[in-house]
Chain A
Amino acid sequence: MNNDFMTEPLLGLQDVHYRYPGATSDALRGVSLAIAPKQFHAVLGPNGSGKTTLVRIALGGLTPLVGRADVLGVPASQWSRQELARTVGVVPQREDNLFPQRVRETVLLGRYPHLSLWGRERAADHDAVDRALAACDAQHLADRWVWTLSGGEYQRVRVARALAQEPKLLVLDEPGMSLDLKHEMGLFELVLDLVEAQGLGVLMITHDLNLAARFADSLLLLEGGRPVASGAPGDVLTQQTVETVFSWPVAMQSVDGRPQMIPLRQPKESRA
């Protein structure tokens, strides 16, 4: 491990190229990204733009053909799974819990990367679970069965589990999918709070341009594996860029100094 790892970005992608075996074109072309603590990065783009591939490469599941993908200066694929889990907490898009569990038990799973092979859970582990639940405003759910939770509540619990890992970087893959307004807003507020209060770095994949623009510090917009624009939301989400990448006419507005896009109607010719 690098001795001056604190100066390294939490996550550093440099000019990453990747092509899936047997594919006719690259899934990622020349993508670069650096996330430091207290930074909220969102990655956006239409379907098939390479967002999922980017997450896999960032977490060491795939090795870039060209370029580097480092976590704290060390290539992600060289990290052992357990060490990586102590540094990066991931909330994947889908989870399929086979067995019924209580909330506290499922959040406790987030402590596993810190547990030795035969050692028991200690008081410190249970404290970490309590802190994680508190940070996510989910203490009141602690003794509930997971299958009785609403979608929004379950999402919070999964974020709490990732927090229980005591990571430096939080990665969320489409966390707002299938959440209603209240819960989706609540989730973004939670993530921003974690960034500011706990100093985490955050990488979030999302479809929701507007919320990403409202909450994130930095956006990366992908199209066909290529980075179209990156930087502050105001610089990335211009009308022209959005219309080109998403192939739909939009109008742009500003709320709280952040760009918000409003899709324009395009009725079918027959109705015009």
Chain B
Amino acid sequence: MRWTLLGAVAVLALMTSVVLGPAAVPLNELLRSDIVWSLRVPRALLAFLVGGSLGVAGAGLQALVRNPLADPFLLGLSGGAGLGAVLAIALHLPGPWGLPIAAFLGALAALGLVYRLGLIGGASLDPRILLLGGVAIGAFAAAITTAIVSLADAAELRNAFLWLWGGLSGASWDSVLLVALYAPIPLIVLLAASRPLDLLALGEESAGYLGAEVEAVKRRVYLAASLLTAVAVAVSGVIGFVGLVVPHIARLTWGHRHRALLPAAFLGGGALLAFADTLARTVVAPRELPVGVVTALIGVPVFAFLLKRWSIA
């Protein structure tokens, strides 16, 4: 029953993304409209894929670092991506894919650094260090980014910060195809880790005694969640709160079993981002809000409500 409802919400989110927009496209012309097929449909699909990926990555990370406040962007990836993007602009990297590729590589570099830090205590990946290292690396990258922006041509790079705030304007069938081919692998890896993630909630020691290969699981989950986040940042900038809030909302109905939670987080995250993007495109039309602003504006009150509920419990 609740799955049907969630599925309906997801379909509704996709449909409103396609039907609504700043350009008035009458319903009877919807199927023939170039705007719809070249812009709105790929953008709706990309929003769904990115939102879903962030929701699943967030759920996986919260289980891995055993911290319900974890967000995929706490791992320093957004800082790395921003630095990559700014370097791409400052160095005038050619081609329309220069910026996303540079952002992706920047995110990977941050991922590598934080992973290396996480292994500092020995062969075991320490989730607390992952969190702290992520914040540190992210701050470091942000500082370098700001330095570059202040030293180079101001105007262009100020616009780079707008990109970083998150936006699906770059959506096209190319980017949809890219994400649709790339994302399933880390998504399946995370889904396959559902049971070990359930066990990890008991603590690493207990999880091991209940059959989880704890070290291998931690590595796989960290890498899969980070790779999902990296591609999300590369195509759409930093869209906050989806990865943080969606897993919590999903847990309210589906509980903590990751076999149900992860798919629910995917559908929920996808629907949320599709709705948020529709709002971003329509509330101040013809102008557009950065979608990261809309998710934060929705996410913060929801988060406050959840915190209240949580502290009561």
Q: Which of the listed residues B198, B214, B313 has the most CB atoms from chain A within 10 Å of its own CB?
A: B198
- A80 to B212: give the CA distance in the assembly, Å: 9
A105 to B260, CA, bound (A): 14
Q: Which residues of A contact B210 (CB under 8 A)?
A: 85, 109-110, 112-113, 165
A92's partner among B209, B212, B213, B214 (CB-CB below 8 A) is B209
Given contacts A81-B212, A81-B213, A109-B199, contact A99 B206 (CB under 8 A): no
B260 to chain A, nearest CB (A): 11
Flag A58-86 by CB within 8 Å of B: 1 or 0 each.
Answer: 01010000000000000000001110111
What does the 1/0 interface line of A106-127 toward B look like (CB < 8 Å)?
A: 0001101101011000000000
Known: A95-B206, A100-B313. A81 touches B211 (CB 8 A): yes
**Beta-carbon contact of A97 and B211 below 8 Å:** no
A268 to chain B minimum Cβ distance, whole angstroms, is: 40
A57 to chain B, nearest CB (A): 14
Q: Are A112 and B211 in contact (CB under 8 A)?
A: yes
Main secondary structure of the interface of A (DSSP, over half): loop
Query: Would you give the 0/1 interface string for B182-207, flagging 1 where the beta carbon is closer than 8 Å to chain A?
Result: 00000000001001001101110110
B208-245 contacts to A (CB < 8 Å): 208-214
Q: Please count how many residues in chain A sit with their CB below 8 Å of the partner chain's CB atoms.
A: 29
Which of A81, A109, A113, A118 is close to B202, meaning CB atoms less than 8 Å apart?
A109
Q: Nearest-CB distance from A200 to chain B (Å)?
A: 16
Taking CB atoms, residues of chain A closer than 8 Å to B206 are 90, 92, 95
Contact between chains at A96 and B202 (CB < 8 Å): yes
Partner of A115, one of B195, B202, B203, B209: B195
Interface centre among B63, B68, B205, B213 (most CB of A within 10 A): B205
CB distance from A271 to the nearest CB of B (A): 44
Q: Which residue of A lies closest to B208 (CB)?
A: A81
Contact B209 A97 (CB under 8 A): no
Are B199 and A112 neighbours in the complex by a CB distance under 8 Å? yes
Closest chain A residue, CB of each to CB of B66: A98
How big is chain B's contact interface, by range? Answer: 20 to 34
Interface of B is mostly: loop
Instruction: Say whether B192 contacts A96, CB under 8 Å.
Output: no
A94 adjacent to chain B (CB < 8 Å):
yes
CA distance in complex: A61, B313 (Å): 36
Complex Cα gap A113–B208 (Å): 10
Which A residue's beta carbon lies closest to that of B204? A96
Chain B nearest Cβ from A92, distance in angstroms? 5
A92-B206, A97-B202, A109-B202 are contacts. A85–B256 as well, Cβ < 8 Å?
no
**In the complex, chain B residues whose CB is within 8 Å of the CB of A98:** 63, 66, 68, 201-202
A101 CB-CB contact with B under 8 Å: yes
Chain B residues positioned under 8 Å from A109 (CB to CB): 198-199, 202, 210
Given contacts A82-B211, A94-B205, contact A99 B256 (CB under 8 A): yes
Cα–Cα distance between A81 and B200 once the two chains are bound (Å): 14
Bound form: Cα–Cα A139–B66 in Å: 29
Check A59/B192 contact, CB under 8 A, given A95-B202, A98-B66: no
Judge whether B257 is part of the interface by a CB distance below 8 angstroms. yes
Whether B202 and A85, one on each chain, are in contact in the complex, defined by CB atoms closer than 8 angstroms, is no
Q: In angstroms, how far is the closest chain A Cβ from the Cβ of B70?
A: 12
Docked-complex contact A85 and B209, CB < 8 angstroms:
yes
Instruction: Specify the chain B residue showing the minimal Cβ separation from A100.
Output: B313
| Known A101-B256, A109-B198, A115-B195; contact A85-B203, beta-carbon cutoff 8 A | no
Q: Chain A residues near B251 (CB, 8 Å)?
A: 99
State A94–B206 Cα separation when bound (angstroms): 8
A89 and chain B: residue at smallest CB distance: B209
Find out whether the CB atom of B203 lies under 8 angstroms from the CB atom of A112: no
Residues of A contacting B201 in the complex (Cβ-Cβ under 8 angstroms): 97-99
Q: Is the CB of B211 within 8 A of A105?
A: no
Q: Are A92 and B199 in contact (CB under 8 A)?
A: no
Residues of B within 8 A of A99 (CB): 201, 251, 256
- Write out the residue numbers on chain A whose beta carbons fall within 8 Å of the beta carbon of B199: 109, 112
A59 contact set on B, CB distance < 8 A: 209
Closest to A61 in B: B208
Residues in A with CB closer than 8 Å to B256 are 99-101, 105
CB closest residue in chain B, given A90: B209
CB within 8 A of B205: which of A80, A82, A85, A92?
A: A92
Report the bound CA distance from A122 to B214 in whole Å.
25
B197 to chain A, nearest CB (A): 11
- B203 proximity list for chain A (CB < 8 A): 94-97
- Whether A117 contacts B192 by the Cβ 8 Å rule is yes
Central interface residue in B199, B201, B210, by most chain A CB within 10 Å: B210
Across the interface, do A85 and B192 meet the contact criterion of CB distance under 8 Å?
no
What's the nearest-Cβ distance from chain B to residue A174, in Å?
13
Q: A82-B213, A165-B210 are in contact. List 13 more A-B contacts (CB 8 A).
A: A81-B212, A81-B213, A95-B202, A96-B202, A96-B203, A99-B201, A105-B256, A105-B257, A109-B202, A112-B210, A112-B212, A113-B210, A115-B195
A: residues with CB less than 8 A from B are 59, 61, 80-82, 84-86, 88-90, 92, 94-101, 105, 109-110, 112-113, 115, 117-118, 165
The 4 closest A-B pairs by CB, nearest first: A85-B211, A113-B211, A90-B209, A82-B211
Interchain Cβ contacts under 8 Å between A and B, 13 examples: A81-B213, A84-B211, A85-B209, A88-B209, A94-B203, A97-B203, A98-B63, A98-B66, A105-B255, A109-B199, A112-B199, A112-B210, A165-B210
